[in-house]
Chains A and B, each alone.
Chain A
Amino acid sequence: MSGALDAGIAALLLGVAFRVLLARDPLGAVIGFVALGLVIALAWVRLAAVDVALTEAAIGGGVTGLVMVRAAARLPKREGARQTADRGTNWIAAGLCVLVFIGLSAVVLGLPEPAPTLAPEAAAHLPGTGLGNPVTAVLLVYRALDTLLEVVVLLLALIAIWSLSADASWRGAPPPPGPRQPTEALVFLARVLPPVGVLVAIYLFWAGADVPGGAFQGGAVLAAMGLLVLLAGLCAPPRIGDRGLRLLVLAGPVVFLAVGMLGWAVAGAFLGYPEGAAKPVIIAVEAALTLSIAVMLALLVLGPPAGARQP
Chain B
Amino acid sequence: MTPAASLSSASSAFGALLVLAVIVPLCGLVPMLLCAPRRVEQVALLLLGLGGLIVGAIAVRVAATGAALDDVIGGWAPPLGMALRADGLSVVMLVMTAVVVVATGLFARTDRAAPTSAMPPAFWMLLMGLWSALNLVFVAQDLFSLYVALELLTFAAVPLVCLDGSRKTLDAALRYLLFALFGSVLYLLATALLYGAYGTLDLPQLAQHVRASGTPEPALVLALALMSVGMAAKAALFPLHLWLPPAHAGAPAAASALLSALVIKAPIYLLVRIWCDLAGPPLAAAGAPLLAIMGAGAVWLCGVMALRQGRLKLLIAYSTAAQIGYLFLMFPLAGIAGAAPWETIAWTGGALQLVSHAFSKAAMFMAAGLIAEALGHDRIADFGGLGRILPVSVFAFGLGGLSLMGLPPSGGFVAKVMLLTAAVQQERWWIAGVILAGGLLAGGYVLRVVVPALFRTGGAVAVAQVSPRRQGVALGLALVAVVLGFVPLQPIGFLAIGRAALIGSAP
- How distant is A306 from chain B, measured CB to nearest CB, in Å? 13
Interface residues of A in 144-168 (CB under 8 A from B): 144-146, 149-150, 152-153, 155-157, 159-160, 162-164, 166, 168
Contact A143 B125 (CB under 8 A): no
Contact A106 B80 (CB under 8 A): no
Q: Which of A31-39, A195-203, A262-270 contacts B (4 or more CB under 8 A)?
A: A262-270
Q: Which A residues, 72 to 115, have Cβ-Cβ distances below 8 Å to chain B?
A: 103-104, 106-108, 110-112, 115
Bound Cα distance from A111 to B195, whole angstroms: 10
Question: Which stretch of B142-150, B310-318, B357-365, B467-475 is in the interface?
Answer: B142-150
For A122, what are the chain B residues with a Cβ–Cβ distance below 8 Å? 80
Q: Is the CB of A106 within 8 A of B218?
A: yes
Q: Given A146-B145, A150-B148: A250 and B218 within 8 A (CB)?
A: no
CB B72 to nearest CB in A, in angstroms, measures 7
Question: From A149, which residue of chain B is reached at the shortest CB distance?
Answer: B148
B121 touches A170 (CB 8 A): yes
Interchain CB contact under 8 A, A162 and B122: yes
Interface residues contributed by chain B, number (CB under 8 Å): 58
Indicate if the CB atoms of A110 and B159 lie closer than 8 Å: no
Instruction: Say whether A272 faces chain B, with CB atoms less than 8 Å apart.
Output: yes
Cβ–Cβ < 8 Å partners of B120 in chain A: 163, 168
Q: Does B217 contact A (CB under 8 A)?
A: yes
Query: For the complex, what is the distance from the CA of A116 to the CA of B217, rounded to whole Å?
Result: 13
Q: Are B193 and A108 in contact (CB under 8 A)?
A: yes
Min C-beta distance of B479 to chain A, whole Å? 32
Query: In the bound complex, do residue A269 and residue B122 qualify as a contact, i.e. CB atoms below 8 Å apart?
Result: no
- Whether B219 sits at the interface, judged by CB under 8 Å, is yes
Please tell me if the beta carbons of A149 and B145 are within 8 angstroms of each other in the complex.
yes
Point out the residues of chain A lying under 8 angstroms from B33, CB to CB: 159, 246, 249-250
- Is A183 in contact with chain B by the CB < 8 A criterion? no
- Known: A246-B34, A253-B30, A271-B74. Is A117-B80 also a contact (CB below 8 A)? no
Closest to B145 in A: A146
Given A156-B129, A243-B34, A250-B33, A270 contacting B122 (CB threshold 8 A):
no
B1–A267 contact, CB under 8 A? Answer: no
Contacts of A301 in B (CB 8 A): none
- How many Å lie between the Cα of A111 and that of B194 in the bound state? 10
Checking B23, B142, B156 against A156 with a beta-carbon cut-off of 8 angstroms, the contacting residue is: B156
Residues of A within 8 A of B484 (CB): none
Contact at A160–B126, with CB atoms within 8 Å?
yes
Q: Which of A153, A160, A163, A267 lies in contact with B74, CB distance below 8 A?
A: A267
A260 at the interface (CB under 8 A from B): yes
Complex Cα distance, B225 from A107, in Å, reads 13
* Alpha-carbon gap, A232 to B148, bound state (A): 35
Whether A163 pairs with B126 at a CB distance below 8 angstroms is yes
Q: Which residues of the other chain, A, contact B76 by a CB distance below 8 angstroms?
A: 125, 141-143
> Contact at B29–A260, with CB atoms within 8 Å?
no
Measured CB to CB, the nearest residue on chain A to B129 is A156
| Residue of B19, B76, B156, B198 most packed against chain A (CB within 10 A) | B76
- Which residues of B have CB within 8 Å of A243? 34
The B142-175 residues at the A interface (CB cut-off 8 A) are 142, 144-145, 148-149, 151-152, 155-156, 158-159, 162-163, 165, 170
Q: Known contacts being A116-B1, A156-B152, is A163 close to B29, with CB within 8 Å?
A: no
Residues of A within 8 A of B149 (CB): 149
Say how far B278's CB is from chain A's closest CB, in angstroms.
16
Name B155's contact: one of A115, A153, A268 (CB within 8 Å): A153
Determine if A118 is an interface residue (Cβ-Cβ < 8 Å): yes
Contact residues in B for A163 (Cβ distance below 8 Å)? 120, 122-123, 125-126, 159, 163
CA–CA, A146 and B73, complex, Å:
10
- Which A residues lie within 8 Å of B170 (CB)? 164
- Residues of chain B within 8 A of A111, CB atoms compared: 193, 196-197, 219
A264 touches B16 (CB 8 A): yes
B199 interface residue per 8 A CB criterion: yes
B79 at the interface (CB under 8 A from A): yes
Q: In this assembly, does A273 line the interface, its C-beta being within 8 Å of a C-beta of chain B?
A: yes
Q: Please name 20 pairs of A and B residues whose Cβ atoms are closer than 8 Å in the assembled complex, sorted by A.
A: A107-B222, A108-B196, A112-B197, A115-B199, A116-B195, A116-B198, A116-B199, A125-B80, A143-B76, A150-B148, A159-B29, A166-B165, A243-B34, A250-B29, A257-B27, A260-B23, A264-B16, A267-B75, A269-B11, A272-B75
* A binding-site residues for B, Cβ under 8 Å: 103-104, 106-108, 110-112, 115-118, 121-122, 125, 141-146, 149-150, 152-153, 155-157, 159-160, 162-164, 166, 168-170, 243, 246-247, 249-250, 253-254, 257, 260, 263-264, 267-273
A-contacting residues of B (Cβ < 8 Å)?
Answer: 1, 11, 16, 19, 23, 26-27, 29-30, 33-34, 37, 71-76, 79-82, 120-123, 125-126, 129, 132, 136, 142, 144-145, 148-149, 151-152, 155-156, 158-159, 162-163, 165, 170, 189, 193, 195-200, 217-219, 222
Closest 7 interchain pairs by CB? Answer: A116-B199, A163-B122, A271-B74, A269-B75, A163-B159, A160-B159, A270-B19
New contact pairs (16) apart from A116-B195, A268-B75, CB-CB < 8 Å: A108-B193, A116-B198, A143-B73, A143-B144, A144-B74, A145-B73, A146-B144, A150-B148, A153-B155, A160-B126, A160-B156, A163-B122, A168-B121, A168-B122, A246-B33, A272-B75
